[in-house]
């Protein structure tokens, strides 16, 4: 589309370098022009405005004549995007119009469209994001196109806030709250009895995932699930003399990394978890069978204590010469 091409060509040339933090404040209500124009008409008008290139000679001063009464607008100057003394800020270039587009005749009643961000914007997320990505180009965002959030039509402004002193998603104390506003299943898992310490902000989602996309499954920061887990759980890394196949293949075969009601974030308690693969283990031996006919709980080696792990306690692999059965 025309606007996408113009945003990608005009904005980088007009701004000195990438701004340090992402996002745009979400609008509280729909814009005035939304009641009069369709999304296609808004986009066509913006295309025309970019072609004409009628920027205000007074920059932000023209915008603040009307918008200075909005506390949310003025909060821009508390953050890096509104830093008047930074060469990396939009304020060093076209100021407000660096992100919202050329003013044109917008100041004559506010009915002419500007680039708006957030859930109430009539612009498609792809077009909104093209503004952000025109400056924020680095190796952390090189896989945005085709990533999970891009494919889901998530706008940068859905997660990030510019008109604020501190973007909530960039703080470890509030990042999980932003992410779980959409990822509700993961939020439920994180509050189960066995989980990573995310509720206390000792870990955050971005420790394992890159929300801007990667070449890995689930946008993991490492090439694989296991490599991501080994970043913290280095003691589980091989090679081992005696290896356990599901461990070397994929940690999530047995564990739910977001949390579980079972100890060790296991998807299912032993022996049921083990029997998903070892379906006939010890089935003919009375010691491991239900010798008490269900009269007591945990009355045999298969259900008492740690179940299978009573004996096979080196379940992640063994380096002992006699550890073929992962017992030592």
d(CA 304, CA 306): 6
pTM of the shown model: 0.79
Residue 159, Cβ density class (10 Å: 0-12 exposed, 13-18 middle, ≥19 buried): buried
Give me the pLDDT at residue 108, please.
84
What are 52-97's pLDDT values in tens digits?
999 999 999 999 999 999 998 999 999 999 998 888 889 888 999 9
The per-residue DSSP string of 84-145 comes to TT-TTSGGGTTTHHHHH---TTTTTTS-S-----STT-SS-HHHHHHHHHTT--STTSTT-T
Give me the pLDDT at residue 16, please.
34
Give me the count of residues in the chain: 328
Segments making up each domain of the chain, as ranges: 36-165
Give me the pLDDT at residue 279, please.
76
Q: Which residues, given as ranges, of the chain have pLDDT below 70?
A: 1-30, 280-304
Beta bridge partners of 255: 266
**How confident is the prediction for the chain on average, in pLDDT?**
84
Give me the pLDDT at residue 24, please.
37
CB of 189 closer than 8 Å to CB of 195: yes
- State CA 276 to chain mean position distance: 32
Residues whose CB is less than 8 angstroms from the CB of residue 215 and which lie 6 or more positions away in sequence, other chains included = 143, 223
Give me the pLDDT at residue 292, please.
53
CB of 213 closer than 8 Å to CB of 276: no
Give me the pLDDT at residue 311, please.
87
């Amino acid at each position: 589309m025309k606007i996408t091409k113009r945003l990608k060509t005009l904005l980088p040339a007009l701004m000195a370098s990438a701004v340090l933090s992402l996002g745009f404040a979400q609008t509280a209500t729909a814009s005035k022009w939304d009641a009069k124009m369709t999304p296609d008409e808004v986009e066509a008008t913006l295309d025309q405005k970019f072609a004409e290139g009628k920027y205000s000679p007074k920059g932000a001063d023209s915008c603040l004549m009307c918008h200075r009464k909005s506390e949310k607008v003025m909060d821009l100057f508390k953050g890096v995007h509104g830093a008047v003394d930074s060469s990396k800020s939009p304020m060093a270039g076209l100021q407000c119009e660096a992100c919202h587009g050329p003013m044109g005749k917008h100041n004559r009643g506010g009915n002419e469209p500007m680039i708006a961000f957030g859930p109430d914007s009539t612009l498609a997320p792809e077009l909104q994001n093209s503004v952000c990505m025109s400056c924020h180009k680095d190796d952390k965002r090189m896989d945005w196109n085709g990533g999970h959030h891009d494919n889901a039509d998530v706008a940068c402004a859905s997660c990030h806030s510019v008109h604020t002193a501190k973007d909530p998603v960039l703080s470890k104390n509030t990042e999980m709250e932003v992410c779980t506003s959409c990822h509700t299943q993961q939020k439920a898992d994180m509050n189960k009895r066995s989980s990573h310490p995310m509720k206390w902000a000792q870990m955050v989602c971005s420790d394992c995932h890159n929300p801007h996309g990667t070449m890995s499954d689930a946008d993991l920061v490492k090439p694989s699930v296991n490599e991501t887990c080994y970043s913290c759980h280095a003691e589980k890394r091989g090679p081992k003399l005696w290896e356990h196949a599901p461990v070397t293949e994929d940690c999530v075969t047995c564990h739910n990394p977001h949390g579980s009601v079972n100890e060790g974030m296991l998807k299912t308690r032993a022996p049921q978890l083990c029997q998903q693969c070892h379906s006939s283990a010890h089935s003919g031996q009375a010691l491991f069978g239900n010798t008490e006919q269900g009269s007591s709980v945990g009355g045999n080696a298969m259900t008492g204590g740690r179940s299978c792990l009573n004996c096979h306690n080196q379940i992640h692999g063994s380096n002992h010469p006699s550890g073929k059965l992962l017992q030592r």
